[in-house]
Each structure stands twice: as C-alpha cells, then as structure tokens.
Amino acid sequence: MSASVETTPETRTTGPVRRKPRRKRRPAVLITQIAVAVFVVLGWELCARAGIVDEFFFSKPSDIVSRTIDWFATGSIWEHLQITLVEAALALVIGGLLGLVIGFLLARVEFIAAVFDPYIKVLNALPRVVLAPIFLLWFGLGIWSKVAFGVTLVFFIVFFNTYQGVREVDRVVVDNARMLGAKEGQLVRHVLLPSALTWIFSSLHISVGFAIVGAVVGEYLGASKGVGYLISQAEGTFDTTGVFAGMFVLSAVVLVVDVAVNRVERYLLRWKPSQDNNFGGGQR
C-alpha cells in the first residue's frame, strides 16, 4: 500500500485532483455484446415457439417480459422488493458494524485475537446455508430470520477486511501520527479506522451482494413476502415464467445497486491512486 518515494522529478506532477479517465469500451466490443444478447434471447424465443425447447420448463422471453411488466404495472412487485431490500440493508448495517467492532478488537488486542482465532476459523468454515433453517426457527418467518442470515454472511467479510486493514496499516504513518501527538483514541480515529475502511469499502461490492443473497435465500426457504418468496411460490406452482421473471427483477436490482455502490466507493476512496478496478459487476 505504501507508495515509495522514488525519484520522481518535481516537474512530472499531475495537477490538483485530476479525474480518473473513464474507461472507453471499444465499439466492436459493445456491438458484439449486443449481438450475443439478441442471439440468445431471440434463439430462446424462437426455439420455444417452434417447440424445440419445452415452454413448460423453459418459458420464453416474451412471457417473462410481459410478466415483469405486469408486476410493475399492477405494483404488486414493490412490496416484495421493498422487503428484500430492507432485509439486505439491515444485514449490511448490522453485519458491517459487528465486523468492524470485532475486527478492530481482535486486531488491536493480541490476547483476544489468540483466544478467538480458532473459533472464528471454525465459524467461517461453516457452510452458512445450513444456518438458514435454524434462523427460521429462532427468529420466525418475518424479516429478522433473513437479516440474521445475511449478517452471518456480511460479518465475516467485513471482519476479515477490518482485521487486515488495521493490521497492515503502514508503520511509518502510525509513528508519524504519534510523533505529531496522536493519542490512542486519535490514532484509531485518524489512522487505523481510515486504513480499515479502505479495505471494507473495497469489499463493499461483495458485502452488498452477500446481504442480498442472504435475504433472498432466507425468503426462499420460508417467508410470506420478498423476491425470494415470489420465486419459491412460482416454483411451487411450476410457473417457470414467474421464476425467470423473479430472477430477472433480482438481477436488475443487483445491477442498479452495484452501480450505486461503485459511485459510493469511488467517492469514499477518492484519495487513493486510481487503479484499474474494472469489474463490471460484483463477483460473488
């Protein structure tokens, strides 16, 4: 992380705050991308109409689109979306805060780290999906079982990033701050926290993705509202169109959220040298 001060002639400076140049997609790539989408969607539609693929199992794009439009036109989708997003947001905030506090504690207090290290490893190794039914039992069918599930996913990401961020903070920066008069509390606020936040923000995509996954999977297993519930309902009645429409809405929402996260990240980490973080969407 620490940029070394190599021989950079004073003349070779970038002026104050130069914006990172937008990555330009070559038109050939864009055209091909559109062509692929058209080919797949059109192929699917035609095959379904011609009876080459069974509509019962695979539905067809025109039905999926009209179902989606229907959901939005009647407004029936909104309450489901809202529930899912609220669950994801709560999971993100609660899991994030827990991860931040506990990560800080373990990174700063050697004894606690030594004691809890094996437990953290065991918990993290646990496949989280098996927890979902237990949470349903503990927290009921409402939003809190989904939030709890999302928290278990988000917590570990934020925890590990906080731990790493505090641990790997530049020694020289810490010493410099101390020589300038920083006391322990000020050190946390001005040096350790910003360093940890760098790591946390860089993993925000993944955290947000996991929060949404947590909500949807939780709903899928048992709920009375939410996009996951919508999909599981459709599945229960062999309504493939409904399943695909649910997936379609979900992907669109994740995409929109991702763009927003990108914006937030770029703003919060504006002090960082621009590196090429050219992933289109969050990987999960």
> CB 100 → another protein: shortest distance, Å?
16
Q: How far apart are CA 134 and CA 129, in angstroms?
A: 10
Which of these, 284, 275, 213, lies nearest to 250 by C-alpha position? 213
Q: What's at 244, amino acid-wise?
A: F
Cα(first)–Cα(last) distance of the chain, in Å? 25
Q: Which is nearer to another protein, 17 or 125 (CB)?
A: 17
> CB 190 → another protein: shortest distance, Å?
7
Is 104 within 8 Å of 162 (Cβ atoms)?
Answer: yes
Q: Which is nearer to another protein, 49 or 270 (CB)?
A: 270
Q: Which is nearer to another protein, 63 or 168 (CB)?
A: 168
> CB 41 → another protein: shortest distance, Å?
44
> CB 182 → another protein: shortest distance, Å?
5
Q: 106: Cβ–Cβ under 8 A, 6 or more apart, which residues?
A: 112, 113, 116, 117, 120, 163
Q: Classify burial at 203, counting beta carbons within 10 Å of its beta carbon; exposed 0-12, middle 13-18, buried 19 or more.
A: buried
Is 223 within 8 Å of 229 (Cβ atoms)?
Answer: yes
Q: Which is nearer to another protein, 12 or 22 (CB)?
A: 12
> CB 180 → another protein: shortest distance, Å?
4
> CB 202 → another protein: shortest distance, Å?
13
Supply 134's token pair.
Answer: 């237990």
> CB 204 → another protein: shortest distance, Å?
16
Supply 23's token pair.
Answer: 């990555």
Backbone phi, then psi, for 41, in 5-degree steps? Answer: -65, -45
Q: Which is nearer to another protein, 111 or 271 (CB)?
A: 271
Q: Which is nearer to another protein, 13 or 278 (CB)?
A: 13
Q: Report the interface residues with another protein, using CB under 8 A.
A: 1-14, 16-18, 172-173, 175-183, 186, 190-191, 194, 198, 270-273
CA 93, distance to chain mean position in Å, is: 12
Which of these, 117, 263, 97, lies nearest to 196 by C-alpha position? 97
> CB 104 → another protein: shortest distance, Å?
17
Q: Which is nearer to another protein, 75 or 185 (CB)?
A: 185
Q: Which is nearer to another protein, 10 or 110 (CB)?
A: 10
| Cα–Cα distance list, 32 to 26, 28, 40, 41, 255 (Å) | 10, 6, 12, 14, 20
